[in-house]
Chains A and B, each alone.
Chain A
Amino acid sequence: MLAFQQGSEKAFDELVVKYQNAAFGMLRRLLGPHAMVEDLAQEAFIRVYRAKQRYQPAGKFTTFLYRITYNLALNRLRDDKRQGVRSLPEGEDGGPLPLEDLQEPPPWARPNQDLWADRIGKSLMRLPQNQRTALVLQHYDDLDLTEIGEILEVSPKAVKSLLHRARENLRELLQPYKDAETD
C-alpha cells in the first residue's frame, strides 16, 4: 500500500491479487449465496484506489479494506431491504422459514460437503448482520477483537458479546442437522 501511495500502479495490482479472495469471501458470507458480489468486490478496490491519500500507514491495510467492504455490504443489505429483495425465502408471517422447511436437494444429489456449505451459508444469513459480520471476520479472516471493533465501530467488549451470541445462535440452528447426521 505504501508503494501504491508513492505512485506504483503495479503495487495496486499486487494488492488486488493478494486480497481479492478475502474481499470476495467476506462479501459472500455477509450477503448470502444469491447476491451478486463481484461488482461490490470491484467497487471495494476502486475505493481503495481513490482513497490512497487518506490511508494511514499506522493502521493495517486489511482493516482499511474490510472497513470499505463492510460499508458496501451494509449499503447493499439496506438497498435490498428497501426494494423488498430477500436473501432467503420467508414464511407466511414474513419471518424467515425454519431451516428444515427450506428446500434441500436429497443427500444423494449433492456431495456432503456442498450440503453443509449450503446449510452454514443459510444459517449465517439468519444471524443479525452485526453478529454475522463479527463471526465472519474472526473465524474466516482471523481478525482480533480490536480490529473487528474498528470495522464495526464498536468496542472490543461489544465484539466479544456479538461473537458469543452469534455462536449461540448458530449452534441452535445447526444442532438439528448435526444430531441427524450422528443418529
Chain B
Amino acid sequence: MPKPTESWLEQLLHRHPGEKAPDWFLDGVRNRLNVANDPPQGLSIWWKRAATIAAAGLLWVGGYFLGQGGGWKSATETNGASLTATELQEIMAIYENRDILQSWGMLGDADLELGFRDAEGGTWLLDTVDALEEDLK
C-alpha cells in the first residue's frame, strides 16, 4: 500500500499489481511431482538404465573435452581456439538437456543446476559458452 511519505516513484510502483497464481497452481505442482515420482510401468527399469547410460555419455563427452589439456580456462582466457564447434555443441547439449536429465530424476540440483551456477564455481560454464559463441560468430 502507498504511504504518504513515499516518493512519487514509490507510489507509482504500487500500481503494478504483479500477478497471482491461478487457483489450480497447487494441483499443477502435485501433478508434476507425481509424474516424476511414478515412471511408466513395465518399461521403468529399461528407461532408467537407458537414461543412466545417456546421462553418463553426455557428461563423459563434455567432461572429456573440458578436461583436455588440463586445468580450467576462465572466460577471459578462452579465445575459442582450443575448443572446436563440435565441442561447443557438446557443452550446449549438456546445458540444454539439463531439464531432461533432471526430469528423469537421474541428477539432482546439486549435480546439475548448481554445477552450472554454483556459488563458488560461479557461472564459468555459462560465461565460457557466451564467450565462445561470440568468437564463433
Contacts and interface: CB of A to CB of B under 8 A. Distances in A.
Interface of A: 13, 16-17, 20-21, 23-26, 28-29, 37-38, 41-42, 45-47, 49-51, 54, 71, 74-75, 78, 82, 113, 116-117, 120-121, 124, 139-140, 153, 167, 170-171, 174, 178
Interface stretch (B45-53, B63-71, B75-83, B106-114): B106-114
A49 B30 CA distance: 10
Given A46-B33, A71-B117, A178-B8, A41 B15 contact: no
A21 B15 contact: no
User: Interface size class for chain B?
Assistant: 20 to 34
Nearest to A26: B18
B14 to A, nearest CB: 8
B91 to A, nearest CB: 13
Given A25-B19, A153-B119, A38 B13 contact: no
29 contacts: A13-B30, A16-B25, A16-B26, A16-B29, A20-B21, A20-B25, A21-B20, A21-B21, A24-B18, A24-B19, A24-B20, A24-B25, A26-B18, A28-B19, A37-B19, A38-B28, A41-B21, A41-B25, A42-B32, A46-B29, A46-B32, A46-B33, A75-B117, A116-B16, A120-B13, A153-B119, A170-B9, A171-B9, A174-B12
A178 B32 CA distance: 44
Contacts of A124: 16
B21 A23 contact: yes
A51 B109 CA distance: 8
A174 B126 CA distance: 34
Contact of A25 (B18, B22, B108, B126): B18
B36 interface: yes
Contacts of A116: 12, 15-16
A74 B117 CA distance: 10
B9 A167 contact: yes
Contacts of B133: 82
Nearest to A16: B26
Contact of A28 (B13, B18, B30): B18
A50 B29 CA distance: 12
Nearest to A139: B13
B10 interface: yes
B12 A45 contact: no
A29 B16 contact: yes
Contacts of A51: 108-109
Contacts of B4: none
Contacts of B113: 47, 71
A66 to B, nearest CB: 14
B9 A174 contact: yes
Interface string B77-106: 000000000000000000000000000000
Contacts of A171: 9
B21 A50 contact: no
Contacts of B29: 16, 42, 45-46, 49
